[in-house]
Structure 1
Amino acid sequence: MGDIKVVRGGFEVHGSTIVHGNLIVTDIASRDSEPIVFDSFNNFTINTRKGEEIINSFVLGKGGAIFNGSVQTPLVRTDSRNELSIESFARSIEILGAIGVALESRAGDLFASCLLDLRLQSTEGTIQLDAGQLYLKGLETAKAPESGKTVVSKSEIFQLCVCSNGKLFLAPPDGQCVFETDSNNVCK
């Protein structure tokens, strides 16, 4: 244990301290501009009780945290050696910001995955996709209409078409952006 100094209302410990068992305190603080470091062999648990509400979070041995309820923080990040994963196994995840929200990966991919719909919504602004290359996989392709019998090349170039409901589909480069039959209409 580091140096202990008895002060009014408690004591101060300077240096490193090892606690075996529980530590119950009113306040843990560090000197100005100095970090507080908690090092645990297995789990690290913090319990806060306010009235009937219990907020509990713990850090797993492999690294990670599980939160029951909402979390408010200005920053969520990981070091450059590990991936950051934010998951909800049974509910939804909402990331809200009063001024904005930034999702950034400085050294790799940014991956979002879900079972159902993934929505990007801007109520008053625009959604911009700014990249050197943009891939839209799995889009349906309309066949060229039988009338007119235009020669369609076997190229891999298509028109990107948009339905009035916002759905996207591909059409041959020399055809129109329409489906010939209603039974295979992606716009429905």
Structure 2
Amino acid sequence: MNRSASLDIEALKMMQEQYTLSAQPSGLPSPDLTAIHPVGIYGWRKRCLYFFVLLLVVIMIVNLALTIWILKVMSFTIDGMGSLKVSGDGVRLEGVAEFLLPLYAREIGSREDSALLLHSDRNVTLNARDHRGLLTGQLTVGPQAVEVHTQRFEVWSHDTRRLLFSAEDDEVQIGTEKLRVTGVEGAVFQHSVETPHIRAEPSHDLRLESPTRTLTMEAPRGVEISADAGDLRATCRKDLQLESTEGEIFLNAHVIRLGSLPIGTTAAAHGSTVPKQTVYELCACPNGRLYLSPAELESTCQATSNVCLWS
């Protein structure tokens, strides 16, 4: 019985080997049916894979924690970040902001109940550019001065929208009703000044002075100089000229005094004792110089005209 069973098993093995040989191409070695190849990652590769997966999980947890911390510290909300609110009208910033790079904005304004403060350790510069990026205007507030580089500078009143001050290359216009100069030295003008009215403050003197040059006042319809509550003085180092080309010079006063006029003498008076004279006659030379001559029954201007020779 056992012998027959073993013969059957051997016959089956032979049939299986023949079938395998017939199925495989000729010239190739027959595979070992008894060898088993395991599928998967084993050994040190498996340990490295688990380590990298664990490291990746730790990094993800740390990143998530840092993101939540940054959102908490910076106060990120749906409307913006902390004091910075983003809306359809623009960006609203409450508090103090520091900009390390240039700021580009169409309009910068403050709240109605507070002022807008721009602070810098060196200077504050505002630039205006055209569509090509060229600089058209610049305002610089520095530690020493405020500089404006533009074609025309204007200052308007807030209430009436009236032009108060404008400056350009060839003209400076002041549109106020009154220009007040409060300096001790007054106002200094290098060239001509055109104005319809110049007056001093009440109880103060008005002085028009040219220390080293000539002071000239001209007007197409005349120049009026009046001092209602004080004296009017005109002093100069050399000559004072009052000239009228077509009219006359009219002096209207209760008393007209001409001081320091020379006194003319006659040739007969030299070397003789002349009594003290108390009344004199006012004479004029051909060139307009005035002098005094002793008054007598008749005019003595011709006799004392020697003063005109030295004028």
CA shift, 1:119, in A, is 0.1
Shift of 1:26: 2.2
Q: Which residue of 79, 82, 98 maps to 2:201?
A: 79
Q: Which has the higher contact order (CA 8 A, sep 6+)?
A: 1
For structure 2, the 5+ residue unaligned runs are 1-106, 110-114, 116-140, 174-179
User: 2:235 is paired with a residue of what secondary structure?
Assistant: coil
What percent identity do the matched residue pairs reach? 32
Residues 8-87 of structure 1 mapped to structure 2, 5 A cutoff: 22=146, 26-29=154-157, 31=159, 48-50=167-169, 59=181, 61-62=183-184, 64-87=186-209
Mapped to 2, the partners of 1:131 and 1:84 lie a distance apart of 22
Question: Would the aligned equivalents of 1:144 and 1:172 in 2 still touch at CA under 8 Å?
Answer: no
Q: Counterparts of 2:186 and 2:166 in 1: how far apart (Å)?
A: 17
Q: TM-score, normalised by structure 2?
A: 0.41
d(CA) in 1 for partners of 2:229 and 2:288? 33
Task: Give the Cα–Cα distance (whole angstroms) in 2 for the partners of residues 66 and 163 of structure 1.
Answer: 39
**1:178 lines up with 2:302 in the alignment:** yes
CA distance in 2, matches of 1:178, 1:76: 45
| Conserved? CA contact 1:159–1:173, under 8 Å | yes
| One-letter amino acid of the structure 1 residue matched with residue 196 of structure 2 | P
TM-score, length basis structure 1: 0.65
Superposed CA RMSD: 3.8
Alignment check: 8 A CA contact 2:155 2:166 kept = no
Q: 2:215 aligns with which of 93, 110, 114?
A: 93
Q: Is the 8 A contact 1:142 1:178 kept in 2?
A: no
1:168 Cα shift? Answer: 1.4
Kept after mapping to 2: 8 A contact 1:78/1:84: yes
Instruction: Report the number of matched residues.
Output: 153
Say whether residues 1:154 and 2:154 are aligned partners. Answer: no
- 2:253 equivalent to 1:134: no
Contact (CA 8 Å) 1:59, 1:66: kept in 2 or not? no
Structure 1: give runs of 5+ residues left out of the alignment.
1-8, 12-16, 37-45
Higher Rg of the two aligned structures: 2
Distance in 2 between residues matched to 1:70 and 1:146, nearest whole Å = 54
Could you list the per-position Cα deviations for residues 44-103 of structure 1 after superposition, in whole angstroms to 9, with x for gaps in the alignment?
xx893416x889xx9563362122211111111111221111111222111111111001
Q: Give 1:186's aligned amino acid.
A: V
What does the per-residue CA deviation read over 1:12-62, in whole Å, with 9 as the maximum and x for residues that have no partner?
xxxxx9xxx759662323656x9x8xxxxxxxxx893416x889xx95633
Is 1:119 matched up with 2:247? no
Name the CA shift for 1:47/1:67 in 2 (closer, same or farther; >3 Å): farther
**How many Å apart are 1:164 and its aligned residue?**
2.1
Match of 1:143 in 2: 265
